[in-house]
Amino acid sequence: MTIPTHDPRDGSSQDTDITPTPQADVRAAAARADAVFRQLRDVSRADRATALRTIADALEADRADLVICAMAETGLSEQRLTGEVNRSAFQFRMFADAIEEGSYLEVMIDHAGDTPLGPAPDVRRMLVPLGPVAVFGSSNFPFAFSVAGGDTASALAAGNPVIVKAHSSHILTSRATFDVIHRAIVDSGLPADTFQIVYGQQAGVDLVQDPAITAVGYTGSLGAAQILISAIGERETPIPFYGELSSVNPLIVTEAAARARGAQIAQGLYASVTGSAGQLCTKPGVAFVPRTDDVIVPELVRLAAAAEPQPLLNAKIHESLFRIQGDLIASGGASALRASEPVGPGLGATPGILEIDASTFTAAAAEEAFGPVVVVVRYDTLDQLPAALDAVPDSLTATVHCEVDEAAGLADLVTDLQRRSGRVVFNGYPTGVRVCWAQHHGGPWPATNSQHTSVGVTAMRRFLRPIAWQSAPAVLLPAELRDDDASVPRRVDGVYQPAKN
């Protein structure tokens, strides 16, 4: 049995030569990863950084072929996919810079000596890699959150071998990307088994249950995550599961902002809702708009009516979108100002604009509709928002459009949004997550199941653990913990010391 590939643009399917990975082969891959982990401990930070930059160069060199392959499996545009390969390359280079800079290690040294509590031993602490990491990519980002994604980049940067489970929605793209990265790893001098791949749903379950795997990075549906979490629960030794799962991402427009720039907000909101056919984890799925507005909502409807359909990623997403839209109307009480409609011959969908009153808004109208659909919630006063927001699941992001002179009066609302999300956006849109040192891409459950980020330098923290050495001979310490090393920032006897390299 082979795994087929599907083109969502016309609904066609064709066989591939890729077969599901048998359990025995999954176990063998995990054993190889465990063995290579011991070798990676001796790889310097400089050599690891070189490997990541070699991967970035290789992705850019093969960008055109990778994009063509992904277009046929996702229906996403050439421009979007080209930008995504660029983002993946940028991520690898950013992590290379972070490895060389070294603060991610959190090096701390407390020398032996007298203290207010009496004589104390020498204690030194830093972060070290966990071990083999399993990575599950998402359907909606065939590069930046898949085989070449941030989970892969951050786990490799932290010094761990990676086994990636290919996504069935872009199976050929997964293999092609793996081949590019694997060649780059070998060319850079790292062991070949530093990076491996498996195929098939059962292989994913087998992978997370293998005792050699020490952590899982996952981006995808809540349902699939729960299957993997359940499988992990059957292990003798538990491991962390870092999942990005489901997010509605509420967006709030104040009355002053609607009056001042309603048309501009409508156009930006529409672009954020419909970009990549609305299949972005940070898409605003619920927009709170004042009842007095007579610009934003009509403009959203006008734009939706004029739009061409866009293909969705796969049949499951296509079916789910229209089922959920139906539930939002039938059970949630929303009305369709312009319903999303399926368009053949492929998996096309038009944008949908739904509307509901804040006084009748419940959790039944706040389910994530993964696709180009937004629920507009009409409110009378800001005092209505806390109760209405209680119906919205905690999210990756929350957005506020307001005017400068009213910002101070929104402190309580913003404090509330901070409790409900991992990133608060002002006068912008949550889609287009910047890859940078300060970024946090995560949030309270069900957005994620941890307090870590999957984007930005601190994504490495998921795949590291602290170790303290007490009264250790210098020859047995990692180089960064020795007194004569100044290659990384450190805190020595409580005093911060910058690197001197």
Which residues touch 330 (CB under 8 Å, ≥6 apart)?
A: none
Question: Confidence class of residue 183 from pLDDT cuts 50, 70 and 90?
Answer: very high
- Could you list the active site residues? 244, 281
Report pLDDT digits (tens) over 39-56: 999 999 999 999 999 999
Chain centroid offset of residue 296 CA:
30
Concatenating the DSSP letter of every residue in 332-345 gives T--EEEE---EETT
Question: Confidence class of residue 501 from pLDDT cuts 50, 70 and 90?
Answer: low
Residues β-bridged to residue 129: 464
Count of CB atoms within 10 A of residue 121's CB? Answer: 11
Helices (H), 170-294: 171-188, 201-209, 222-233, 255-274
Predicted local distance difference test score (pLDDT) of residue 224 = 94
CA nearest to 192, candidates 203, 201, 183: 183
Q: Is the pLDDT of residue 33 over 90?
A: yes
Q: Which two tokens stand for residue 138?
A: 């998402």
Q: Hey, what domains does the chain have and what are their CATH numbers?
A: 47-245+450-464 (3.40.605.10), 251-426 (3.40.309.10)
CB 457 within 8 A of CB 94: yes
Q: Is the pLDDT of residue 345 over 80?
A: yes
Rounded CA-CA distance 123/223 in Å is 44
Mean pLDDT along residues 169-187: 98
Question: Confidence class of residue 228 from pLDDT cuts 50, 70 and 90?
Answer: very high
* Percentage of the chain exceeding pLDDT 90: 99
Mean pLDDT along residues 214-223: 95
Report pLDDT digits (tens) over 285-321: 999 999 999 999 999 999 999 999 999 999 999 999 9
Question: What is the distance in angstroms between the CA of the first residue and the CA of the last residue of the chain?
Answer: 55
CA nearest to 8, candidates 405, 424, 309, 358: 309
Predicted local distance difference test score (pLDDT) of residue 239 = 98
Predicted local distance difference test score (pLDDT) of residue 450 = 87
Question: Confidence class of residue 84 from pLDDT cuts 50, 70 and 90?
Answer: very high
Rounded CA-CA distance 447/243 in Å is 8
Identify the H or E element spanning 419.
Answer: helix 411-420
Predicted local distance difference test score (pLDDT) of residue 35 = 98
Q: Which residues of 161-190 are buried (b: 16+ CB within 10 A; e: fewer)?
A: bbbbbbbbbbbbbbbbbbebbbebbeebeb
* Percentage of the chain exceeding pLDDT 70: 100
Which residues touch 477 (CB under 8 Å, ≥6 apart)?
A: 124, 469
- pTM confidence score: 0.96
